[in-house]
Amino acid sequence: DKPFIFITRNIPEKFVEPLRVVAEVEMWHSEEDPVPHDVLTEKAKKAHGLLTVLSDRVDEELLKEATNLKVIANLAVGFDNIDIQAATKRQIYVCNTPDVLSDTTADLAMTLLMTTARNILEASAHIKENKWTSWSPYLLAGRDIHHKTLGIVGMGKIGEVLAKRAAGFDMNILYHNRSRNEQAESKLPVTYASMDDVLEKSDFVVCLTPLTKQTENMFNEEAFKKMKKSAMFINVSRGDVVDEAALLKALNEEEIAAAGLDVFVNEPIDGSHPLAMHPKVVALPHIGSATVETRTSMIKLAVQNIEAVLAGHFPSTIINRELVPQG
């Protein structure tokens, strides 16, 4: 019997072909609609491998019944949708897609920062809605980016690339991370700072931290109060690092100036979401790594990780490294 692989979203057949040689592969029929949790649980019961996306919840409930499962390849760098502990306990490798998306996600972070700072969406709408009647001194005037202070929260690989981009814009760069990143400091003009310093001194606070129990709701009422009133908050990590009610309040009470958000607590949201409707918010539908090139690289990496495990090897980008023998 060939091993069974379930892929939770429709991806191009040409990337799945190598897997079909060695496994029976079933792919969820839709590119847009997520697989219902009960269907995923049912498929997982007989699967040796799962290729999941970040909106698929892989919890202990599901893993308990997935007695054949050897590998979960998540099509994302983040893996907060997967119960890692429960997977490790069952000797199931969990893989993500780091590195291949760092440049692209940093590009998006910079784009979102600039779009927010320079009122780009409003400016574009100004023409499309026939509002451009004259040149005037402060028409759609935004805020400078160059020579301002950027505070990066979460200085991992994406943070490093963002710092490189920001240095090109002559920004002063502070960062906060769970642990100091001396390697980043040695090659980039970045200065380690306490979380409070980052919040108090930055003109732009960009959140790139993974979602963990420690980072959940770290951007709360208190955090927004510490920011400058002229500060802009950019989130490209996970919605749950933000208390959205507190963010809304901070925007309404002018504790901060604007926000650029690529992620939300309950995705997907629609145009009636109070943050999406807010005039000081640029809202994007979680497109940090969304380029054709990078999504292709991510898919290839996820497929390779499953292939490796089926061939009896270790996957290349494994999260629960304790499953790999040392030495």
Distance CA 185, CA 232 (A): 24
Binding of ligand GLV by 9 (CB under 6 A): no
Which range of residues in 116-124, 172-180, 222-230, 252-260 is near ligand GLV by CB under 6 A?
172-180
Looking at the Cβ atoms of 205 and 310, the one nearer to ligand GLV is 205
Among 19, 58, 77, 100, binds ligand GLV (CB under 6 A): 77
Of 180-199, binders to ligand GLV (CB under 6 A) are none
Alpha-carbon distance of 138 to 244, in angstroms, equals 31
Q: Could you say which of 54, 110, 193, 199 contacts ligand GLV (CB under 6 A)?
A: 54
Question: In this structure, how many other beta carbons lie within 10 angstroms of the beta carbon of residue 137?
Answer: 5
DSSP secondary structure code for residue 58 in this structure: B
Q: Work out how close the CB of 327 gets to ligand GLV at its nearest, in angstroms, rounded to a whole number.
A: 29
Dihedral sign, Cα of residue 182, residue 186, residue 190, residue 191: positive
84-113 residues near ligand GLV, rule: CB under 6 A: 101
Catalytic positions, please?
Answer: 238, 267, 286
Q: By C-beta, is 177 or 202 nearer to ligand GLV? A: 177
Name residues whose C-beta falls within 8 Å of residue 305's C-beta, 6 or more positions apart in sequence: 71, 73, 93, 95, 315, 316, 317, 318
> Looking at 41, 119, 149, 177, which residue binds ligand GLV (CB under 6 A)?
177
Q: Does 76 bind ligand GLV (CB under 6 A)?
A: yes
Q: With contacts defined by CB under 6 A, how many residues of the chain interact with ligand GLV?
A: 14
CB 152 within 8 A of CB 175: yes
- C-alpha to C-alpha distance for 103 and 108, rounded to whole angstroms: 9
Count the Cβ atoms, other than its own, within 10 Å of residue 4: 19
Instruction: Report the C-alpha dihedral over residues 37, 38, 41, 46, rounded to 10 degrees.
Output: -140
Separation of alpha carbons 43 and 9, rounded Å? 13
Instruction: Please identify which residue in 41, 116, 209, 294 interacts with ligand GLV, judged by CB under 6 A.
Output: 209
CB of 255 to ligand GLV, least distance (A): 21
Residue 179 Cβ, how far from ligand GLV at the closest point, in Å?
A: 7
Q: Side chain identity at 242, as an amino acid letter? A: V
Q: Taking CB under 6 A as the criterion, which residues in 281-310 touch ligand GLV?
A: 288-289
Of 254, 252, 257, the C-alpha closest to 277 is 252
- Pattern 249-288, ligand GLV, x by CB under 6 A: ---------------------------------------x
Q: What is the dihedral of CA 65, 66, 72, 77, to 10 degrees?
A: 0
Contact residues for 320 (Cβ-Cβ < 8 A; gap 6+)? 84, 87, 88, 92, 93, 94
Residues 152-171, one symbol each (x = binds ligand GLV by CB under 6 A, - = not), give -xx-----------------
From the list 20, 64, 178, 313, which residue makes contact with ligand GLV (rule: CB under 6 A)? 178
Smallest distance, ligand GLV to C-beta of residue 94, A = 13
Give the shortest CB-83-to-ligand GLV separation in angstroms: 16
Contacting positions for ligand GLV (CB under 6 A): 54, 76-78, 101, 153-154, 176-178, 209, 215, 288-289
